[in-house]
Amino acid sequence: MNQFTRAGYWQTTFNSFSTRAGIPTVLIQRGVPRLYALMNPRREQMRDDFTEEVKRALAARAGSVCSNPDCRASTSGPQDDSTKALNVGVAAHITSAAGGGPRYNPSLSSEERRHPDNGIWLCQTCAKLIDNDALQFTEKLVRAWKEIAEHRARGLIGRTAPAVAEAYPILEVQFADLPLREKLGTAVAVESRVVEIPDRKNIPLYGPAPKTFYGVSLDATDNMRNRDYYREIAIYIRDRSLLCPVGVAITNASPTVAEEVWVTLDLDVAADLVVLDESDTACEPSTYWVPPIRPANRDQRVHARRYGDKYEVRIQIGTVQPGTTQWSHEPFYIGARRPMAVAARIQMTANNLRAPITLTAEIEIKTRRLHVSVDDIIKPRKSAQSE
């Protein structure tokens, strides 16, 4: 008989007893779970639940608002009874309180699982949501929610509601997948493909050998053909494969328009790390000897530059309307030839912000090594040219 069967057995037994003894069934039903818990102390020890003190701390640190940046529902308020208040918030575990649960981390001790660092304040709907789809709502994403919510709550301390509503926007920043319009939080992982290309001398020249007569070309198009086309393609594949696009999403969580928003990221220079904007990425080579010319992008809003031991990425977002999310116009590009974690110090400014908003984010760069053969370089280009 397993623990749940035993519980059902005792429930049925006590219900039968209450009928014969004339004791209200509801009293028995309330007593059975506690009695069963006393008879089975291990069952209550299986979960590392938060104490009431930790729950109150998590609620207060989030301002009693759901920490999901797409929800932000208020979780507490008054009851009709003037002596009581109601709460619809949940102190949810970021990594599960028990083995087999969502995002469970077996390396944590019981004290670490019960610690406030392992908790996040959510409404009941969002608490259920993150536990039902742990693959989508990863530990990194949930921790990013918590950081954003606590940063927002900290920024509201000491401000009167009318001043915030009338004068200052409330902005939240996350990394983003721009083609999918998907927010990725303040901790993101990307993968650089480190491509090994054939030696230059092993890559054939492009096109047929020139026909000459005593050193004079017999075909006028020979002088226009880029004989190093395949070799340049190999370098283009190597350099472009290393780069990973990263966008930015800014959400305005206030009823106030955010005017002329800029986002600045500062990253430490490291060996093998590359940070570029769109204008600095390589153009695909041309089959003609005239090098490809990139069209002037007068509307470029992302600029990446190196200053000493820092990379600086400046992103112009523009106006962000109340209750909306604005996406960066284009991504910046980051890559590395070895795995590394890059800390990004983010600063947001707007014309009508009282002070810049600052926070720390992280970009984890993973690498995958690939080998490209001569055929991999040549065949796709020949097929494209024959079509």
Same-domain pairing of 174 and 293: yes
| 117: Cβ contacts below 8 Å, ≥ 6 apart | none
What is the per-residue pLDDT across 156-215, written as a single tens digit (0 to 9) for each? 887 665 444 445 888 999 999 999 999 999 999 999 999 999 999 999 988 776 666 566
Answer yes or no: is pLDDT of 14 > 80: no
Distance (Å, whole) CA 36 – CA 387 = 76
Predicted confidence at residue 256, as pLDDT, reads: 87
Q: Residue 154: inside a domain, yes or no?
A: yes
Q: Assess contact for 35 and 27: CB atoms under 8 A.
A: no
What is the per-residue pLDDT across 135-146, written as a single tens digit (0 to 9) for each? 888 898 899 899
Domain count, the chain: 3
What is the per-residue pLDDT across 34-87, written as a single tens digit (0 to 9) for each? 444 445 444 444 788 999 999 999 999 999 999 998 888 899 989 888 888 889
What's the average model confidence in pLDDT over 93-117?
91
Q: Which one, of 237, 198, 199, 239, lies nearest residue 337 by Cα?
A: 239
Predicted confidence at residue 34, as pLDDT, reads: 46
- Paired with 93 in beta bridges are 119
Per-residue CA distances from 275 to 235, 298, 303, 329, 342 (Å): 18, 21, 10, 17, 11
Which CATH number fits the domain that encloses residue 307? Answer: 2.60.40.10
What is the per-residue pLDDT across 240-262, written as a single tens digit (0 to 9) for each? 999 999 999 999 988 889 999 99
Query: 365 is in which domain, residue-wise?
Result: 166-198+238-386
Same-domain pairing of 81 and 25: no
Q: Binning pLDDT at 50, 70 and 90, where does residue 154 land?
A: confident
Same-domain pairing of 190 and 302: yes
Q: Residue 338: inside a domain, yes or no?
A: yes
pLDDT-above-90 percentage for the chain: 51
* pTM, entire model: 0.59
